[in-house]
Amino acid sequence: MLQIDQVSSGYGDVRVLHRVSLAVEEGEIVSIVGANGAGKTTLIRTIMGTLGASGGEIRFRGERLTGRPAHAVARLGLAQVMEGRRLFPHMSVEENLMVGGDILRDPARARRNLDWVYGMFPRLRERRRQFARSFSGGEQQMLAIGRALMTGPKLLLLDEPSIGLAPVIVKEIFARIPDINAEGVTILLVEQDVRRSLKISARGYVIEQGRVVLSGTSAELLANDGLKAAYLGQ
């Protein structure tokens, strides 16, 4: 579904990603793990077209993404939940969700997706009139995921959904990811919580200093001595 082939990108003269190659098949949950500053967010930005690639090619269902503007990438069926969530604090939950739905330019479909999102996160329905700024961190993360789902994406890119959240909330959010996947949404999950992330993924890639240094099934990665020493504290 998503093919990333020898992609390089960065900021100005600083190259962050060095010939990264990876693939995500339709229906999978795939993890990308790596330390702070490894280039995970940069990879997501490059996929979504908010950052241009300086080399290589990205394809989604056979269509070339590299060189397309971000809004055109979103229309092909990709959605992202960025680090930091980026909600509109002075808008209600439902208004925040409808901003996601507006991309569709199809009110009837946006309405259906709203029901779908509320079904997945009943807490959002209960609090639909509340301002986003009054939400806890975990609720904000649910809302950020819900907003991304409003476009009915084929591929959802999640950037560190666990960041800054209490363990009990992280558990709740991670429990929803396989449910979202079961609804037909392929997922690329970027996380520093390596164990939790690999547990719900079929496969994963390890990125260090902008390069893919290791890949395999989640079971292989969890049993890898280097990965255990670097990321699992064993």
Ligand X SMILES: Nc1ncnc2c1ncn2[C@@H]1O[C@H](COP(=O)(O)OP(=O)(O)OP(=O)(O)O)[C@@H](O)[C@H]1O
Nearer to ligand X, 48 or 114 (CB): 48
192 binds, among ligand X, Mg ion, none (CB under 5 to 8 A by kind): ligand X
130 binds, among ligand X, Mg ion, none (CB under 5 to 8 A by kind): none
Contacts 24+ apart (CB under 8 A), 215-221: 215/22, 218/31, 221/33
Cα separation, 143 vs 100, in Å, equals: 11
Nearer to Mg ion, 94 or 160 (CB): 160
Tokens 């099934």 correspond to 217
CB of 119 to ligand X, least distance (A): 31
**92, 152, 149: which is closest to 125 by C-alpha?**
92
Query: From residue 102, how far is each of 14, 95, 132, 151 by CA, in Å?
Result: 35, 10, 18, 8
CB 55 within 8 A of CB 46: no
CB of 115 to ligand X, least distance (A): 33
CB of 81 to Mg ion, least distance (A): 12
Cα separation, 17 vs 233, in Å, equals: 26
Cα separation, 103 vs 165, in Å, equals: 29
Fill in the per-residue mask, 23 to 62: x = in contact with Mg ion (CB under 5 A), - = not in contact. -----------------xx---------------------
Give the residues lining the site for ligand X (CB under 6 A): 11, 14, 16, 34, 36-42, 83, 192
153 binds, among Mg ion, ligand X, none (CB under 5 to 8 A by kind): none
Cα separation, 75 vs 6, in Å, equals: 24
Nearer to Mg ion, 34 or 77 (CB): 34
DSSP state of 92: B
Nearer to Mg ion, 124 or 194 (CB): 194
The answer to whether 192 contacts Mg ion (rule: CB under 5 A) is no
CB of 192 to ligand X, least distance (A): 6
Binding footprint of Mg ion on the chain (CB under 5 A): 40-41
